[in-house]
């Protein structure tokens, strides 16, 4: 495949993805604003998200994606980025907050789930300029999410499509 064909394929993928996006504009702005609050402490990471709607409103999950090591002695290792979020800044994106909870869930480490303790912050409230949401800020990505970045032994970092 030539570079031109690859670029065309990437453009077609982007267009199909944009066409499937049924989120209202206020929700898109909210997700972008909250994603901007993630401050990686170690490594680098890309903020991932998932939005679902039901009769109670929107549920938004945000997390920093993982990096997979490609090649070398650590080949296949998945690295999670440590991060912090300014909760006072987060509060400014809400008109009202009805519920604020932090969960720390422990479990046994397995081959598929090497991290035994998971944590998430859950904020229920009304978004400025929008509707009711349940925002979940995850300490690690959901198990079904594949690494968003790959790191080669020579230090080159690249995105997964």
Number of independent structural domains in the chain: 1
pLDDT per position as a tens digit, 23-38: 899 999 999 999 999 9
16 in any annotated domain: no
52 confidence band (pLDDT: 50, 70, 90): very high
7 in any annotated domain: no
Strand partners, 58: 53, 133
145 in any annotated domain: yes
9 in any annotated domain: no
57 in any annotated domain: yes
Structural domain for 32, as ranges:
25-159
Q: Strands of the chain (E only): list them.
A: 39-40, 47-54, 57-64, 67-69, 78-79, 83-84, 94-106, 117-127, 132-138, 149-151, 157-159
141 in any annotated domain: yes
In angstroms and rounded to an integer, the radius of gyration of the C-alpha atoms of the chain is 18
136 in any annotated domain: yes
pLDDT per position as a tens digit, 62-114: 998 877 788 888 787 777 778 899 999 999 999 999 999 999 887 665 656 55
pTM of the model: 0.72
Three-state DSSP at 89 gives helix
4 in any annotated domain: no
pLDDT per position as a tens digit, 117-161: 588 999 999 998 888 999 999 988 887 777 767 777 777 777 765
């Amino acid at each position: 495949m030539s570079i031109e064909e690859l670029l065309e394929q990437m453009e077609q993928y982007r267009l199909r993805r944009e066409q499937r996006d049924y989120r209202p504009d206020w929700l898109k702005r909210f997700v972008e604003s909250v994603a901007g609050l993630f401050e990686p402490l170690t490594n680098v990471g890309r903020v991932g998200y998932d939005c679902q709607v039901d009769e109670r409103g929107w549920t938004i999950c945000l997390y920093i994606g993982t990096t997979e090591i490609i090649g070398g002695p650590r080949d296949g290792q998945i690295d999670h980025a440590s991060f912090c979020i300014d909760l006072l800044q987060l509060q400014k994106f809400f008109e009202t907050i009805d519920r604020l909870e932090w969960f720390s869930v422990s479990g046994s480490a397995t081959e598929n789930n090497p991290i035994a303790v998971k944590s998430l912050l859950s904020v229920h409230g009304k978004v400025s300029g929008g509707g009711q949401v349940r925002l979940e800020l995850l300490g690690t990505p959901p198990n079904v999410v594949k690494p968003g970045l790959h790191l080669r032994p020579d230090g080159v970092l690249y995105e997964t499509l």
